[in-house]
Amino acid sequence: MNTTVVVRPVTEADADALGRVHVACWHETYDHLLSQAALSHLRPERLATMWRGITKMGGDYRQVVAVDGEDIVGFAASVPRSDSDVPTARELKIMYLLASHQGTGVGQQLFDAVVDAGPSVLWVAADNPRAHAFYARNGYLADGSEKTEEVLGELLHEVRLVR
């Protein structure tokens, strides 16, 4: 377990840093799935605005950041499930970690902070082997459900994993 990284709840003051980290993670994760033209539309300021809104969400929305020293290096959030055809209460909605911190245990810390033990669901890009391996280690299996989402004006194929 990484001892230099602290996982804590997201605050509105994190929004600007989250915008930058979110863009960096998208480039690291989706460079092979989306065109450079599409990814060039990502703007840290726009994502920071989105994060400011997310930090104000109440209810059962769990969101955390991983902080290494003074720098945010990842984030995760879970929500009540959106798919009515799965027997779970929670959905991992988003989880990203900078490549520099992958394989250090920080991803597991993020995951554990927003996903309880037991059944849950998530959607992941079909062509994201590192994420699939992580989720398999956490007990997730593809259930055969697939969808294609428009992301930055392009299509991204996703599969649903359940535990």
**What CATH number did the domain enclosing 100 receive?**
3.40.630.30
Query: Which residues, including other chains, have CB under 8 Å from residue 26's CB and lie 6 or more apart?
Result: 39, 42, 96
Confirm whether pTM is higher than 0.85.
yes
* Helix runs in the chain, H state only: 15-30, 36-39, 44-55, 106-114, 129-137
- Mean pLDDT, the chain, rounded, equals 92
Q: With 50 as the cut, is the pLDDT of residue 2 above it?
A: no
Question: Total structural domains in the chain?
Answer: 1
Helix axes 44-55, 15-30, angle to 10 degrees: 120
pLDDT given for residue 3 in this prediction: 54
Q: With 80 as the cut, is the pLDDT of residue 143 above it?
A: yes
Q: Which domain holds residue 33?
A: 5-162
Distance CA 85, CA 71 (A): 39
